[in-house]
């Protein structure tokens, strides 16, 4: 499988510098960082550090633990992440309680792919879920504990990894589309449906025209037929005219049927193409 390119954006994700700044000392190695994070006071940061490690094992991971870095990455059209996992509340941008929505909107503007809003607040406020879905994102509840619970953290990591692995699988199967690709495909389907509708309109107009011509010919023939009978009686000439008229009407009917058959076949082909594209 091709590893997905993932943005993990959360201001609680620790790194050696941020933890070192908080503690007022240097954190030289990742192992020292882990030991510091395992202390009960750092349960949230330890949990997110474990999530980061879990994602790093299965993807090409980019981490943003400040709002400034996250919004900058979201605005960068060259990045084109496959998945963005976004926290809702950012302590370094308290002017907006739900600053994660701004990151989602920037990602949406740049046609980047799938977004996951990962927040502890989703169970508190069900309206947030609806707003997240309206932004073409998946709401995913983030679980924190007041103490370090390795089993709970492991379950939470597995949940997040499962979502990522699912999208990795459908991308490899060719059913994974970016927002731009989805819009292009929908536009193509709309064009096909519009063309089919135009064909049906033309076909209906042709039918009306053919029937008007036939009614006019029948009216003319009936008047002519009775006029000739009343003046000269039934003759070979009238029989000849009747034969010519029959051939003419037959030709018009054949044209009407064949034209409709061609239109119907074209419409059926358009519909089959649309069905195949929808299945893809």
Alpha carbon of residue 157 to chain centroid: 27
**Of 47, 58, 61, the residue nearest 14 (C-alpha):** 47
Give the mean pLDDT of 107-120. Answer: 82
Bigger pLDDT: 138 or 174?
Answer: 138
**Token digits for 35?**
């030991």
- What is the reported pLDDT for 229? 67
Per-residue pLDDT for 279 more than 60?
Answer: no
- What is the reported pLDDT for 64? 93
**Token digits for 183?**
């819009």
Instruction: Kindly give, in sequence order, each residue whose CB lies less than 8 Å from that of residue 255, ignoring residues fewer than 6 positions away.
Output: 210
Per-residue pLDDT for 34 more than 50?
Answer: yes
Strand order in the sheet with 5-9: 60-64, 5-9, 83-86, 114-119, 137-141
CA-CA distance, 107 to 117, in Å (whole number)?
A: 12
Residues of the chain above pLDDT 70, percent: 59
Bigger pLDDT: 207 or 67?
Answer: 67
Bigger pLDDT: 32 or 63?
Answer: 63
Mean pLDDT of the chain: 75
Bigger pLDDT: 2 or 33?
Answer: 33
**Token digits for 220?**
């003319």
With DSSP H G I counted as helix, E B as strand and the rest as coil, what are the percentages for the chain, rounded to 5?
65, 10, 25
- What is the reported pLDDT for 40? 66
Instruction: Give the DSSP H or E segment for 5.
Output: strand 5-9
Q: What is the CA radius of gyration of the chain?
A: 35
- What is the reported pLDDT for 86? 94
**Of 68, 64, 72, 79, the residue nearest 118 (C-alpha):** 64
Per-residue pLDDT for 178 more than 80?
Answer: no
* pLDDT, tens digit, 9 for 90 and up, residues 121-148: 888 888 888 888 888 888 988 887 667 7
Residues of the chain above pLDDT 90, percent: 11
Residue 189, helix vs strand vs coil: helix
User: Torsions phi, psi of 96, nearest 5?
Assistant: -125, 115
Per-residue pLDDT for 8 more than 70?
Answer: yes
Question: Are 110 and 84 spatial neighbours (Cβ–Cβ below 8 Å)?
Answer: no
Per-residue pLDDT for 111 more than 60?
Answer: yes
Q: Which residues pair with 5 in a beta bridge?
A: 60
């Amino acid at each position: 499988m091709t590893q997905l390119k993932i943005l993990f954006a959360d201001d609680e994700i620790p790194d050696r510098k941020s933890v070192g700044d908080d503690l007022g000392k240097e954190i030289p190695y990742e192992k020292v960082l882990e030991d510091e994070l395992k202390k009960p006071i750092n349960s949230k940061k330890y949990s997110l550090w474990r999530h980061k490690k879990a994602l790093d094992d299965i993807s090409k991971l980019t981490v943003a633990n400040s709002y400034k870095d996250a919004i900058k990455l979201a605005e960068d059209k060259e990045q084109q992440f496959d998945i963005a996992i976004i926290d809702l509340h950012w302590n370094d941008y308290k002017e907006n309680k739900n600053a994660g929505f701004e990151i989602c909107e920037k990602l949406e503007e740049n046609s980047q792919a799938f977004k996951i809003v990962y927040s502890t607040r989703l169970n508190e406020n069900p309206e947030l879920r609806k707003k997240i879905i309206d932004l073409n994102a998946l709401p995913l509840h983030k679980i924190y504990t007041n103490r370090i619970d390795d089993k709970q953290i492991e379950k939470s990591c597995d949940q997040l990894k499962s979502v990522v692995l699912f999208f990795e699988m459908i991308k490899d199967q060719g059913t994974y589309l970016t927002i731009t690709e989805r819009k292009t495909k929908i536009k193509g389907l709309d064009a096909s449906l519009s063309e089919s509708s135009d064909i049906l309109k033309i076909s209906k107009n042709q039918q009306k025209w053919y029937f008007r011509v036939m009614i006019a010919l029948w009216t003319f023939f009936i008047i002519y037929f009775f006029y000739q009978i009343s003046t000269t009686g039934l003759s070979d000439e009238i029989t000849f005219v009747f034969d010519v008229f029959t051939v003419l009407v037959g030709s018009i009917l054949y044209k009407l049927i064949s034209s409709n058959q061609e239109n119907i076949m074209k419409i059926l082909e358009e519909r089959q193409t649309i069905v195949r594209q929808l299945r893809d």
